[in-house]
Chain A
Amino acid sequence: MICCKECLELLHDYLEGTLKPETSDSLEEHFEDCPPCIAFVNTYKSTSHLCKTTLSSTEIPEIVKERLKEFVEKNKSG
C-alpha cells in the first residue's frame, strides 16, 4: 500500500487530475483509512483558497489611479 509520504508528493497532480487513474485510485484508497491525510488534503486546498482570497483583493488606491491616469496622459502625447 502507498504511504502518506508518497500521497503528499503526488498531491499537486492528484488535485489537478493529471495522475493515471490507477495511481489516483491508490491515493483515494489510502485516504479512506487515513484521517491525517484527509485533514492534510483539506488544509492544503484551503491554503490556496485563503491566500488567493486575501491577496487577490489588492486594489490600486484611488489617488494612485489618478496619478497613473495623468502619467499615461502625459506620456501618450510626449
Chain B
Amino acid sequence: MGFSEPKEAKAEEEQLVKDLQAGKTESFERLATLFQKKIYALSFNLTRNAMDSEDVTQEVLLTLFKKIHTFQGKSAFSSWVYRITLNATYMKLRSRKKDQSISIEELLPSFNGSGFQQEKIQDWSENTESLLFDNETRETIQKAVDLLPDKEKVVFLLRDVEGLSTEKVSEILELTIPAVKSRLHRARLFLRKKLTNYFEEYKVRKETK
C-alpha cells in the first residue's frame, strides 16, 4: 500500500493529501500508516542501521506534516515522499561518512578482442531458492548491496527492490531514463558478479565437506 498504485489506493492518497492541506490533521495518521514502512525500509536498506532509520522515518513524517502545503502535485505524492526520505537518509549517512564502496568497473564482465565472454560462467540460478532461508546468503546479499556506489545503489533499491517503474525512478531522482537504465544495469552486473563468487565458493565448500 501507499507506494503500490492500484487506482483506489491512489485516490485515497490524493484525498488524504488534500485533507491534510486543508488542515484536517487526522489524515496525517492515516498517511503515516500508509507510508512509514516504505520510508523505514528504504532508509534501512541504505544505512543498515535501525536507529538511523527510525530517526529518518520520524523526520520524514514530520516533514510531511509540516511541509504538506509546499507539495504542489507536480509529481506523484509518493515521489515527493521518496525524495524527502532520500535527502534525510543522505544527511544521516554524511554525518558518519565512510566510503566503503568499491570500484564497480572491476566487477563488470570481461570480453576478449572479438567480444566474447572470457570467464567460465556458472549457472547458479536454479539452486538459489532454498538458500534464501540461509542467514549467510541473506547477509552476503545485504553486504553486496551495501558495497554498491551510492548512485547505483539508490537506483537499484527503488527499481528492483521497491519495484517502481523506470519513469518513476527518473522522476524521483531527476535523472534521464537512459541514466536510470544504465545505473540499474551496472548495479545488477556488479551484484551478479558478487553473488556468483559467493555461490561458487559455497558450492566448493559443500562438495569438500
Contacts and interface: CB of A to CB of B under 8 A. Distances in A.
Interface of A: 3-6, 8, 11-13, 16, 35-40, 42-48, 50-56, 58-61, 64-65, 67-68, 71-73, 75-77
B87 to A, nearest CB: 19
Nearest to B122: A39
Contact of A11 (B28, B122, B157, B185): B185
What's the interface size class on B, roughly?
Answer: 35 or more
Contact of B40 (A5, A42, A64): A64
Closest 3 CB pairs of A and B: A3-B115, A39-B123, A5-B115
Nearest to A12: B185
Contacts of B179: none
Contacts of B188: 12, 44, 47-48
Contact of A55 (B126, B137, B142): B142
A8 B29 CA distance: 47
B37 to A, nearest CB: 6
B118 to A, nearest CB: 9
Contacts of B37: 59-60
